[in-house]
Every structure is written in structure tokens, then in C-alpha cells.
Structure 1
Amino acid sequence: MRALPPTPVVDRAASPPVDAPERELDWLEMMPKDELAALERGDGPEVEHTGNRRMPQFGTFRTVDAVLGRAVRLPGYVVPLANAQDGRLTEFLFVPYYGACIHVPPPPPNQIVHVRLAQPITMPDMYSPFFLAGTLGAERTDDALAGSAYTMHDAQLRPYEP
């Protein structure tokens, strides 16, 4: 895996005050406006449900400056990457919808958060939604499943409660 800093997109209008409490972040706030517009136009690849190979990932590693370094929580799903010897989870991708990175194209890199946990946790139910809480950072990670543009520092996985 390679970790490089993605190019941030400056969007000061959406920046909360630095001392703001943890807030729920919408996944679409993590995409530069031009990329969001392209996605809404349907510029991504068509989904193919044949074969057993991962579809190519579309999108870029560009991040949005306004969401970086903020205490946030994101709703989403866990895609396990690595476990400790006892089977507890140590590293995962956090994605906005169930089934991402399986047979459909993975979300764009700026819609995936790469998480390395300081302390392993019991393997969560991959079918259940969670909140990922912590401080969002920009770090490019290339993995066999998908690339990600974001990382989460001091990450905590919490049960999803609407």
C-alpha cells in the first residue's frame, strides 16, 4: 500500500468553526463540487454484475479542505482489511453503502475512509450500519479492494442510531 497526501480542494464556505462539536457529515460533502456534479450526471461507469473481478474504480483522490481536521461522524459500513491474530479487526475501509467494493464499482476514492485502529475491536457485523467518529484527514491509500482519499484519526466505531 502507498500512502500519499491527496490534493485538497479549498471550500471555506462550508467550514465549521474549529471548536465546533462532533457533527454528522454527509458523504457528499467529501466530494469536490465538480466531481459531485459529474456523478449526478451519471458520468461513472455502468454497473456489470457478471464475472468475479472487481470493477474499476472511478473518481479521484481529491479531498475537500472544509471537512479535514474536524470532529465528525459518518454513517456507513465496514469493509474489513486486516485482523489481529485473535481475529479482532485492526484495519478497514469505511464506505457509504452496503456491498461497496464487492461486485459493483467501488465508491470514488473520496467516498472511502481508510481506518487503522490503535486497539483491535471485535469484528463488527458487515451487514449492519455504523457511525465512524473521529477526526477526518487526507491520506491516499491504494489497496487491492479500492483506493481511498481519506483517513480517520482517533476512530471509534459506534452503533448506528438514526
Structure 2
Amino acid sequence: MKLSTGLAKFLITIGVLFSALISALSHGSDEVQALDWSDLMPAGFSDEALFADYDVSAFEDGDPEGQRRLEEFQEILQSAPVIESLDGQLISLPGFALPLEGDYEATSLFLLVPYFGACIHVPPPPSNQIVLVRADPGVKIETLFAPVKVSGRIRIETTDTGIAHAGYTLDLTNIETIEDF
């Protein structure tokens, strides 16, 4: 069976469009989405609401019930729900960098957190408010006190860094120091 030139071109065009659609769906969009920290939390989830049932002043040091409640609370923080539809997307997100690997010249692994001092204080933010950033090759973090904006492909991947549990990872493509956010 011989196809006409017009029909052959049409079928090739449909094939190319279909292939591009499949590629976009499997690899995420190539358009960078500017996100805010609230975009990393499912609707109805509130990190502030997590604290509502926990009055630490009701317990004394060494109180077994207080210890049990603390462990329960930490488990809730470490398993906070994420937004599955973000997996594989190119995003940008402002925050503060907390280096985990590297030195003053190059940091290859760091946490991005929504406010200065997060993860240094106990307890850390919920895991859906912590992003583990992989920077290959390493990048220079100018100062820990200034906010940065990172860009890259985000993944749904829970990681225990020893400091905190991150609900997301990001393969860094760009980092810049910003004035405020």
C-alpha cells in the first residue's frame, strides 16, 4: 500500500507530537515553575496545626509521657505529606541554605529551608518544608544569613540527613543570592 505524500507527512507530524507529549509527561515540563513553600504542602495541611495538640510546658524533663509524645510528634514531622504532582518538575524556590557536604569554596549537598535557623533548632520543620539539594559540581554558598533562590528538577524522595528528614530532593541547575522573600 502506497501512502500519499500528504498523508505520510500528517502521520509523521502526529508521531512527532505524540512522542513530544510522552516525553513531556515522563520527564516533567521544561518550564520552570516559581514556587513558594506553601506550594509544597497539600491543601488542608498546616504545619502550625501540628503544634496545636502539643503543649511542651505540660511535661517535665525525663517524663516518660513527654518523651512518648515527643517521639510521636517527630514521626508526624518526618512523614509530612508531599505534592506528588511536583515529581520531576523544574521549579525555583527561595529559602535558606544549610550546607551538609563541602567547604567554604564548594558545597555539593545542602538543605533548603523556609526560614533562617530551621533544622538547627529542635524540632525541624515538617519534612515537606525541607528540600535536600544536590549540587554537582559544588556551588559556593556566599552566606548562611542571606536567602537564596534555587532552581532545578524536584523529586519526591524522603531522605534522613541526620539533621532532619527532607520530603523532597532537588538536582540544582542554578542558585542565586536574593535580597528578601
Runs of 4+ residues deviating >6 angstroms: none
Q: Select the structure with the greater relative contact order (CA < 8 A; seq sep ≥ 6).
A: 1
Query: Counterparts in 2 of 1:1-162, with a 5 A limit?
Result: 19=29, 21-36=31-46, 39-40=48-49, 42-43=51-52, 45=54, 57=74, 58-59=76-77, 60-83=79-102, 87-160=105-178
2 CA distance for matches of 1:134 and 1:46?
A: 38
TM-score when normalising by structure 1 = 0.71
Two-structure CA RMSD over aligned residues (Å): 2.7
Report how many aligned residue pairs link the two structures. 137
Distance 1:73 1:145 in 2: 23
CA distance in 2, matches of 1:39, 1:26: 17
Q: Which has the larger radius of gyration?
A: 2
Deviation at 1:134, TM superposition (A): 0.9
Q: What secondary structure is seen at the aligned counterpart in 1 of 2:52?
A: coil
Unaligned runs of 5+ in 2: 1-27, 58-69
Unaligned segments of structure 1, at least 5 residues:
1-17, 49-54
Contact kept in structure 2, 1:76 and 1:95, CA below 8 Å: yes
Query: What's 2:17 paired with?
Result: none
Scaled by the length of structure 2, what TM-score is found?
0.64
Work out the percentage of aligned pairs sharing the same amino acid: 31
User: Which one has a larger percent strand, Structure 1 or Structure 2?
Assistant: 1
**1:47 Cα deviation (Å)?**
7.8
